[in-house]
């Protein structure tokens, strides 16, 4: 048994015992020291998942300890042996400055910009750039009902699916509770046709032709019967429906608003500093 394993077994025993004795506290107690840095028991406790046995806990803790010690030693050795410390400090300061500015900008954006673009802005963008929103997938609205091959009332089910009006949909809902293997209704949202066809045993060579030529599809395999009703469709190359493009447009507009806000703020900050003479220009020519 190596030294680390022995330490962790003792630690695990202490942690286990502390669960039943409130007076025993292992938190904050160092279990090792290297280069003046201390690793405490509570750090080990936090990385060990609950309900693991002693052997697994020991392996997890040993791995963590090795990484922790190695990082400390590597860092301290690097500090002692690197000659370009000034360059590193400059990089650290540059990163600190960039991070501070970024956090400040994000805070202002959260306070001053709306969480989402207006519906008018979304639709205006959609109408203006619709030629850049071509579909790369066929999409459909509809429903897919899968039932056992020997399910009851198949003629009625077929009629309900073909109709797909409010009354028929209610009948399908009630029927599917007791008889359906699965029932997917997507009449109120667009779905990629490829995702729907994964659930049906059909071989289709031309998906665009299939979706434009079929409103009702019925097929079966050795155990199941499939009913597909297509209520609406759009094929590859057509303009992406607004409902599908909405989220992507929102991200584009938000990023645009953020960039414009930051640019305007930077200009105002600079101009105010110049006008208030907070900026001193040397060798400035007199008018």
* pTM of the predicted protein model: 0.63
Encode the chain (287 residues) as per-residue pLDDT tens digits.
455 555 555 555 555 444 444 334 445 688 899 999 999 988 988 898 888 888 888 899 999 999 999 999 999 998 888 888 888 889 999 999 999 999 999 999 999 888 889 999 999 999 999 999 999 999 999 999 999 999 999 999 999 999 999 999 999 999 999 999 999 999 999 999 999 999 999 989 999 999 999 999 999 999 999 999 999 999 999 999 999 999 999 999 999 999 999 999 999 999 999 898 888 888 766 55
pLDDT at 129: 94
CB 219 within 8 A of CB 201: yes
Residue 211 near residue 204, CB atoms below 8 Å: no
Residues 49-77: tens digit of each pLDDT: 888 888 888 899 999 999 999 999 999 99
Supply the pLDDT for residue 25: 47
C-alpha to C-alpha distance for 3 and 147, rounded to whole angstroms: 63
Give pLDDT, residue 115: 86
Largest CA distance in the chain: 97
């Amino acid at each position: 048994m190596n030294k680390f394993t022995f330490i962790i077994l003792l630690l695990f025993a202490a942690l286990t015992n502390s669960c039943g004795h409130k007076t025993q506290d292992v938190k904050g107690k160092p279990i090792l020291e290297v280069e003046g840095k201390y690793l405490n028991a509570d750090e080990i406790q936090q990385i060990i998942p609950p309900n693991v046995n002693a052997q697994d806990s020991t392996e997890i803790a040993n791995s963590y300890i090795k990484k922790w010690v190695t990082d400390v030693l590597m860092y301290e050795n690097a500090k002692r042996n690197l000659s370009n410390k000034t360059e590193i400090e400059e990089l650290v300061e540059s990163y600190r400055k960039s991070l501070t500015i970024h956090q400040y900008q994000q805070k202002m954006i959260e306070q001053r910009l709306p969480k989402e673009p207006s519906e008018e802005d979304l639709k205006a963008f959609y109408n203006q750039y619709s030629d850049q929103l071509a579909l790369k997938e066929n999409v459909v609205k509809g429903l897919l009902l899968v039932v056992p091959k020997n399910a009851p009332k198949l003629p009625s089910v077929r009629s309900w699916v073909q109709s797909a009006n409010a009354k028929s949909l209610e009948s399908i809902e009630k029927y599917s509770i007791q008889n359906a293997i699965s029932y997917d209704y997507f009449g109120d949202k667009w779905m990629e046709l490829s995702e729907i066809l994964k659930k049906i045993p059909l071989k289709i060579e031309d998906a665009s032709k299939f979706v434009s030529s079929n409103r009702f599809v019925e097929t079966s395999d050795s155990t199941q019967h499939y009913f597909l009703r297509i209520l609406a469709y759009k094929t590859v190359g057509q303009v992406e429906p607004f409902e599908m493009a909405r989220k992507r447009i929102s991200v584009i507009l938000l990023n645009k608003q953020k960039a414009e806000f930051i640019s305007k703020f930077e200009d105002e900050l600079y101009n105010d500093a110049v006008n208030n003479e907070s900026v001193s220009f040397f060798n400035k020519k007199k008018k």
